[in-house]
Structure 1
Amino acid sequence: MPGQRIHHDDLMCSPELRTSLYASYRIDGELDVNGFIVALSQAVKSHEVLRIGVSQEPGRDPRQWLREEPGGGSLISCRNVQSASEEQFNRYARAVLAKDLSDSWDLGSQYPFRYRLLRYSPTVHAFLATFSHVALDGRGRSLVLQSLWQNLAGGERHTSPVSESSAAGFMDSALRHAEISLAGGARTSEFWLSRLRQKLPPVRFSADLLTEPASRECATERVLVQGERLERIRSLSRLKGCSEFQWVVAAFADTVFEVVPQDRVAIMIPVDTRLASEQNVSGMFTVPLPLFIERTESLDQSIRQARREILSVIARRNVSSTILDGIREALSSADSADAPGFSVTYVNGQWNQSEWHCGDVVAQEGAYRPRVSLHSTGMDLRAVSGDDSLELTLTLDVKISSPDAVCRVIAFLESRIDGSIPGR
């Protein structure tokens, strides 16, 4: 799959990169550990992508195959942790997860997951899961975890609906997508080639934002939108005839033009290429594709442009690895290596159920989140949408990470999310 190929090639070129997805759960109640391992084994059996291997010989394309089902220590590491307090146990669990995230992946000899079950007491356990991004995207991660908890809730003989529907497997989908990209290759290629012929101007940060970095860490700011403010934003977006995703992209695009003087930029978005019949198939279906955005003069123009661009790109999302390589090469050669880049990731929080009730136990996600430093070579926005919240995480390049610059950018983004564009 093209999305897999990107992550694989990036890791081959830069082995120091760490591209993993993770989840952490606190499990309260008397957990049947054997039953938990059976439920986990069922999930791995049902999701083919958790059993892929990837290798590459010199001068050849990477090859992907299916392994046998794992057992014993290959499936999960279980440990009884002796801690003086639960707080000490929590620190230990976060450290273990951080270590797993920092470790590299060798899919030629390893499964694309790391599972750990840590026991603090008979009624408190930590479950830690780490996945290779070569194997799973965000949707795939959610499907795998959903299978686990549904299997555990149903007992040893239960197989979740997600697991059953994904039994056809990722490998069949990969072949199907290769056929689709060949069938529509000429039209899709011409669409992207025509866009890339319109070269972008050299992009630079505005001089008044640049400062000498005080540290090598990027600035990360989080904004949580809730309550009446969120209701007002969603009502306004519906009134303007756009989705929340399109609203967020338009807001981010206007914010980008606050930090660069250029009038046209590329903003990368991850696009899920799953077909309607593959919504419950786990794997790495997501590809990064560019929106070409121009500076506008009004809120309505920004929204219309974002909507038009997103719909055009989604309609041509089934790209081959060759096309994707061409897009990446064209964008990287449009300017020097130190030019800033911009991206938006939008996550539907409904995919990620935060709490699971499985008989006598309750699993709560997010209890052992490690401290990780986010990296950006420009400006990146991650938006997680839930029923009653919209969480925005903005990461800025170290060159525009002074307190004054961060405050200015965040203030603009928040005002634009609220539906206004200062100064227009």
Structure 2
Amino acid sequence: MTQQRTGGVSELSYAQEHEYGRLRETQQPTKVVQLAERIEGPLDVPALHRALSALVTMHEALRLRVGTASDGRPVQWLADAPPPEGLLDARRIKARSPEQFGTYLAGARAQALAEPFDLSSRPPFRFRLFRYSEQLHALIVDLPTLTADLASRSLVRGRLWEAYGAALADQEYASDGEGDGLLAAISRAREQHDRRSATVEHRYWSRKFEAMAALLDEPENAGSGADAPSDAPAPAAITRFSFIPGPAVASLRLSCREAKVTLFQFALAHFARIYFLHTTRPGLAMTLPLDTRSTGERTVVGKFSRGLPILVERSTDLTTLLRRIGSELMQTMRHQHIAYTDLCRARRAPGRADGDGLRGAIVRYTLHAERFVEAGPGGLRLTHNAFAPQVNYTCDGISFIVNEYQQSVTFVLCFDPREFSVAQADRFTADLNTALGAVARSASPWAVFPGDPS
């Protein structure tokens, strides 16, 4: 750890610990959270340099280094921000058409997703600008999942263009920033954990994993019966993508308000009900990525989201499932501040193999507040998440993703082909669409089709 620092070493956040431990167990490189912008209009590149410099100075997560202390513990520290001219890798792309430019960018995005980060000596970001013409650019930002999450991506995007607007006006970028900073937020979370007592957290998680073991000690093979070797690469998932457009979304949100539940809880209860109708399992174990930011940390860029297990006991009654899911989510959030080592120790309860039946599904919810195409500073037209690469998605069991936008809601189902046949995936999806679409069908039919969930 010879990198120049602006302060001493600090512990990782609980979410960082979970990600660090998972990566070490799976022997995988750090994954990437990616932001991709199509920029149409007269881009001022020097102003973009100044905006990026302001962003890195403001957010500690963009100046972190992560390494290993002498006792083997992962630690992090702050390094000096690179000079503005060293932040951005800008290159001119010779393409015959904007379409060919887009194809090149899709490949560049896919390649960047597999590029590892050396966080012990290099900054935790990659800013790259691709130029097709004076009126068409693309900006790709890569952030490692060890220091940033999806909420951080949205924060970075919003503040980048605010800072760019200030740079165009030759003004200093003024923002409420992130309060005391990321490392102070991590310290507060650990102090809260110390006050609550690690014993209380460990007892809760031990009981939960014991309940999971009792309910799920005989995992059911729900699908086609293809027995792949455990060390074989996971095959591409069977994906199904559905959405509710237009006025139908208002009907769905009204139903949620009347039931006094969130849209996510509503969708998750329907998903669990269909799951139980299609299986005989006595419970559903799910890994749910939870954003653990407190109210005062909503503007902090960093790694706050981590996957925590939740368990729903069997029922086919929607009201019962809504009540059980609400209670389980509340209890899990109350016991969120647990170190990765403590969570692993609770998981390895005596009398059962590590990892048996712990996950029947991966569930994710994302609220998209920003529009996909919007007007930017200086007359720019910005398209968010542009040049989407083709990705072969994989999953264990089922992955259920809920994306909520202002005018639509999309649901993505990914099925592990080692457990589900195509026919079973189609039946499961059709039944879930029927259940969720009952509220909205009078206004607008569901669109259901197989394809890439991106």
The residue number in structure 2 matching 1:159 is 173
Q: Specify the SS of the correspondent of 1:399.
A: coil
* Counterpart pick for 1:403 among 397, 416, 422: 422
The residue number in structure 2 matching 1:321 is 340
Correspondences of 1:44-83 after superposition (within 5 Å): 44-57=56-69, 60-71=72-83, 74-83=86-95
The residue number in structure 2 matching 1:362 is 381
What CA deviation, in whole Å up to 9, does each residue of 1:315-353 have, x standing for no partner?
Answer: 222223343333554599567668753121111111676
Residue 361 of structure 1: CA displacement? 1.2
* Counterpart pick for 1:413 among 418, 432, 444: 432
Residue 278 of structure 1: CA displacement? 0.9
Question: For 1:76 and 1:329, how far apart are their aligned partners in 2?
Answer: 45
The residue number in structure 1 matching 2:391 is 372
* Counterpart pick for 2:368 among 336, 344, 349: 349
Do the aligned partners of 2:131 and 2:138 also contact (CA within 8 Å) in 1? yes
**Most deviating of 407-416 and 200-209:** 200-209
Residue 68 of structure 1: CA displacement? 1.0
The residue number in structure 1 matching 2:302 is 283
Question: For 2:105 and 2:408, how far apart are their aligned partners in 1?
Answer: 27
What CA deviation, in whole Å up to 9, does each residue of 1:4-48 have, x standing for no partner?
Answer: 112222223333355211111110111000101111111111110
The residue number in structure 2 matching 1:204 is 219
Give 5+ residue unaligned stretches, structure 2: 1-12, 229-233, 440-454
Q: Does 1:193 align with 2:206?
A: yes
* Counterpart pick for 1:106 among 118, 139, 146: 118
**Most deviating of 67-76 and 92-101:** 67-76
What CA deviation, in whole Å up to 9, does each residue of 1:69-94 have, x standing for no partner?
Answer: 02367522100111111111111111
| Partner AA of 1:176 in structure 2 | R
| Partner AA of 1:360 in structure 2 | G
Question: For 2:223 and 2:209, how far apart are their aligned partners in 1?
Answer: 30
Question: For 2:188 and 2:372, how far apart are their aligned partners in 1?
Answer: 30
Q: Does 1:240 align with 2:259?
A: yes
CA pair 379-224 structure 1, distance change in 2 beyond 3 A: same
**Most deviating of 319-328 and 175-184:** 319-328
Question: For 2:268 and 2:357, how far apart are their aligned partners in 1?
Answer: 24
Do the aligned partners of 1:219 and 1:397 also contact (CA within 8 Å) in 2? yes
Q: Specify the SS of the correspondent of 2:76.
A: strand
CA pair 323-25 structure 1, distance change in 2 beyond 3 A: same
**Most deviating of 218-227 and 321-330:** 321-330
Q: Does 1:273 align with 2:292?
A: yes
Question: For 2:267 and 2:380, how far apart are their aligned partners in 1?
Answer: 37
TM-score w.r.t. the length of structure 1 is 0.90
Question: For 1:417 and 1:188, how far apart are their aligned partners in 2?
Answer: 35
Residue 159 of structure 1: CA displacement? 1.9
Residue 100 of structure 1: CA displacement? 0.8
**Most deviating of 346-355 and 4-13:** 346-355
TM-score w.r.t. the length of structure 2 is 0.85
CA pair 207-69 structure 1, distance change in 2 beyond 3 A: closer
Residue 102 of structure 1: CA displacement? 0.8
What CA deviation, in whole Å up to 9, does each residue of 1:246-292 have, x standing for no partner?
Answer: 11221222233245421112112112221211111110012222221
Do the aligned partners of 2:55 and 2:163 also contact (CA within 8 Å) in 1? yes
CA pair 73-37 structure 1, distance change in 2 beyond 3 A: closer
Do the aligned partners of 2:59 and 2:181 also contact (CA within 8 Å) in 1? yes
Correspondences of 1:145-156 after superposition (within 5 Å): 145-155=157-167, 156=170
The residue number in structure 2 matching 1:226 is 245
The residue number in structure 1 matching 2:412 is 393
**Most deviating of 108-117 and 67-76:** 67-76
What CA deviation, in whole Å up to 9, does each residue of 1:116-156 have, x standing for no partner?
Answer: 10000001000111110000111111111111011112224
Question: For 1:331 and 1:172, how far apart are their aligned partners in 2?
Answer: 37
The residue number in structure 1 matching 2:35 is 23
Matched residue pairs, number? Answer: 417
Please report the RMSD computed on the Cα atoms of aligned residues, expressed in angstroms: 2.5
Correspondences of 1:123-162 after superposition (within 5 Å): 123-155=135-167, 156-161=170-175
The residue number in structure 1 matching 2:316 is 297
Question: For 1:153 and 1:134, how far apart are their aligned partners in 2?
Answer: 29
The residue number in structure 2 matching 1:382 is 401
Question: For 1:331 and 1:229, how far apart are their aligned partners in 2?
Answer: 50
Q: 1 or 2, which has the higher helix percentage? A: 1
Q: Specify the SS of the correspondent of 1:237.
A: helix
Residue 192 of structure 1: CA displacement? 2.4
Identity %: 25
Residue 389 of structure 1: CA displacement? 0.8
Do the aligned partners of 1:204 and 1:339 also contact (CA within 8 Å) in 2? no
Do the aligned partners of 2:222 and 2:419 also contact (CA within 8 Å) in 1? no
Question: For 1:349 and 1:333, how far apart are their aligned partners in 2?
Answer: 40
The residue number in structure 2 matching 1:178 is 190
Q: Specify the SS of the correspondent of 1:16.
A: coil
Do the aligned partners of 1:203 and 1:335 also contact (CA within 8 Å) in 2? no
CA pair 336-132 structure 1, distance change in 2 beyond 3 A: closer
